[in-house]
Amino acid sequence: IINVTTDEARTAANEVDDNTEEKENEWTDAAESALYAFYRLMKSGRVAENTYCTVPYYTYLDPVFSALDAWQHEEAIVEAALGCIVATCNDLDKNGEMLTESDINDLEEHINKCDIIAVIVTKIMPKFTTESSIQEQACLALEALAKSTYSVNTELIELFKHYINNGLIQKQLILARDERITNERNKA
């Protein structure tokens, strides 16, 4: 659902007519609903019970990454997508024993549809500086990607190295901790 919604929304956003804003709002609502539905499924554990044997978990992240990239200006979608990243990575770890050796090899070589680290660190975090919940979710998403089973992905490893070597991740994490996240308990 998320993949189709994202692709269709990109096409609709490129079409210009009298109803462009109305069309984009419809797609935005659909994307937000799809992401929250997916988030609830991931948190419930029902996805692992029902589909893991046919669909490796890391493939769930592709449409979430694409949705986050496509609607990076929409606060509700950003928050939902970041939550989906955290929930998927956490569930991936919780059900890691279901990964076969072939799944791990595929995950290592998987090509991501977008540079998710750049989307989070150079677009989302600087754009939503006054939204403490988005800052918290962005930090949790970066942590989940770095610590979960997904971190064996060769491309993700290179992206993390690049943004760490450039100091961009550290800068955004420090700004989030020191200036943007208001809840003291969540600053750690």
pTM over the 0.85 mark = no
Q: What is the pLDDT of residue 7?
A: 57
Q: What is the pLDDT of residue 16?
A: 47
pLDDT digits 0-9 by tens, 9-56: 555 555 545 566 666 677 888 889 999 988 888 888 766 555 545 566
C-alpha 67/C-alpha 170 separation (Å) is 25
Residue 167 has pLDDT above 80, yes or no: yes
> Which is more confident, 140 or 21?
140
Residue 54, Cβ neighbours under 10 Å: how many? Answer: 6
Angle ∠(117,132,124) on CA atoms, nearest 5: 25
Give the DSSP per-residue string, 2-55.
Answer: HHHHHHHHHHHHH--STTHHHHHHHHHHHHHHHHHHHHHHHHHTHHHHHHTTTS
pLDDT digits 0-9 by tens, 65-115: 999 999 999 999 999 999 999 998 988 888 777 778 888 888 888 888 889
